[in-house]
Amino acid sequence: MATLANTVLDNGLSTLTTNGTRIDICTTEPTTYAEATSTYSLGNGTVTTASPTDRIGGGREVVVGAVSDAPVTATGTAAFYSVTNGSDTLYATGSLSTTQSVANGNTFSLGSFSIGIPDPA
């Protein structure tokens, strides 16, 4: 069975916690920075993440803090999130727990959630 030390997993997650400062809500799951912050973005806010901790089921995870009153910049249905550095790098994407219909000029909120790396199988 392959194994990785927690420090190996933590270093990957630490890149996210150190550099991931912007969260966007998106209509489609982005694969590039431009898609995350422009093409599919419906709005964005500032994000914070906690230090890596043990993940239930094995591995490591970080908790992304809740976002409130972030500006909506386009009308549509948000189904995904993206975390970037706000300048040129996409670090993480995933599905929202529930979709949100948003309208340009309003604000959005997200509850906290986890991003994790499982132990190798």
pLDDT tens digits, residue range 39-66?
999 999 999 999 999 999 999 999 999 9
Task: Give the pTM.
Answer: 0.93
Residue 4 pLDDT? 84
The answer to whether residue 117 sits within a structural domain is: no
Q: What is the mean predicted confidence (pLDDT) over 19-36? A: 98
Average pLDDT, the chain: 95
Total structural domains within the chain: 1
Consecutive H or E run containing 42: strand 41-46
List, in order, residues 6 or more apart from 66 with CB less than 8 Å away: 109, 110, 111, 112
15 in a domain, yes or no? yes
User: What residues make up the domain containing 29?
Assistant: 6-112
> Does a structural domain hold residue 71?
yes
| Residue 10 belongs to a domain | yes
With respect to residue 22, please indicate whether it lies within any of the assigned structural domains: yes
Q: Which helix (H) or strand (E) holds 8?
A: helix 6-19
- Please report the pLDDT score of residue 120 as a whole number: 84
